[in-house]
Amino acid sequence: MAANFDSVPILDYNLLHSGHKQQFILKLRNASINVGFLYLKNPPVEKEVLDSLLSYIPRLFELSQEKKDAIAMINSPHFLGYSKLGNELTKGATDQREQFDFATQFECKWKPGEPEYKRMWGNAQWPEEKDIPGFKATMLSYLSQVHALSVEFTHLLSEALGLPTGALNQFYDSPENMQHWSKIVKYPSLDDPKLNSNQGVGPHFDSGFLTFLLQASQHPGLQVQNLSGQWIDAPPIPDTFVINIGKGLEAATKGLAKATSHRVLSPPRGSTPRYSVPFFQNIAQSVRVTEHHLEFPPEILALKETRGNAAEMDSINFSEYDRGEASGQANLIGRVKSHPDVGQKHYPELFKQIFPQGLPTPTTMF
Ligand SMILES: O=C(O)CCC(=O)C(=O)O
Ligand SMILES: [Fe+2]
Q: What is the mean pLDDT of residues 141-159?
A: 97
CB 258 within 8 A of CB 32: yes
Share of the chain above pLDDT 70, in %: 95
**Is pLDDT at 321 greater than 90 in this prediction?**
no
CB 8 within 8 A of CB 245: no
Domain containing 226 equals 10-354
Q: Whose CA is nearest to atom 10 of ligand 1?
A: 206
**Is pLDDT at 66 greater than 80 in this prediction?**
yes
pLDDT at 3: 59
**Is pLDDT at 314 greater than 60 in this prediction?**
no
Q: Say how far apart CA 80 and CA 99 lie, in whole Å.
A: 10
Q: What is the mean pLDDT of residues 147-174?
A: 97
Query: What does the DSSP 8-state code read for residue 322?
Result: T
- From the number of C-beta atoms within 10 Å of its C-beta (0-12, 13-18, 19+), residue 261 rates as buried
CB 68 within 8 A of CB 82: yes
Mutate to test the pocket of ligand 1, among 39, 184, 186, 213 (most ligand atoms within 8 A of CB): 213
**Is pLDDT at 333 greater than 60 in this prediction?**
yes
Q: Whose CA is nearest to atom 1 of ligand 1?
A: 276
In ligand 1, which atom is closest to the CA atom of 211?
10
CB 86 within 8 A of CB 116: no
ipTM: 0.99
Angle at 11 between CA 8 and CA 14, to 5 degrees: 160
pLDDT at 298: 97
Q: Where are the beta strands (DSSP E) in 50-143?
A: 81-83, 88-90, 93-95, 98-103
CA of 206 to the centre of ligand 2 (A): 5
CA of 112 to the centre of ligand 1 (A): 33
Q: 213 lies in a domain?
A: yes
Mean pLDDT of the chain: 94
Q: What is the pTM of this model?
A: 0.96
Which residues surround the ion ligand 2 when the cut-off is CB under 5 Å?
206
Query: What does the DSSP 8-state code read for residue 363?
Result: B
Q: What is the mean pLDDT of residues 57-63?
A: 98
Q: 339 lies in a domain?
A: yes
Q: Coil, strand or helix: which one is 72? A: strand
Q: What is the pLDDT of residues 339-348, one digit of tens each?
A: 999 999 999 9
Which candidate, 125, 150, 144, 127, places its Cα nearest to that of 56?
A: 127
Q: 181 lies in a domain?
A: yes
pLDDT at 87: 85
In ligand 1, which atom is closest to the CA atom of 97?
1
Ligand 1 site residues, Cβ closer than 6 angstroms:
185, 201, 206, 213, 215, 222, 262, 264, 276, 278
**Is pLDDT at 1 greater than 50 in this prediction?**
no
Q: 2 lies in a domain?
A: no
Which candidate, 223, 148, 210, 207, places its Cα nearest to that of 337?
A: 207
Q: 366 lies in a domain?
A: no
Q: What angle do the packed helices 21-30 and 135-160 form, to 10 degrees?
A: 90
Domain of 108, CATH number, reads: 2.60.120.330
CA of 264 to the centre of ligand 1 (A): 7
Which candidate, 330, 279, 328, places its Cα nearest to that of 120?
A: 328
Q: What is the mean pLDDT of residues 191-213?
A: 93
In ligand 1, which atom is closest to the CA atom of 222?
3
Q: 131 lies in a domain?
A: yes
- For residue 351, the one-letter residue type is F
Q: Whose CA is nearest to atom 5 of ligand 1?
A: 278
Structural domain count of the chain: 1
Which candidate, 274, 294, 316, 314, places its Cα nearest to that of 162?
A: 294
pLDDT at 366: 44
**Is pLDDT at 272 greater than 60 in this prediction?**
yes
Q: 1 lies in a domain?
A: no
Q: 363 lies in a domain?
A: no
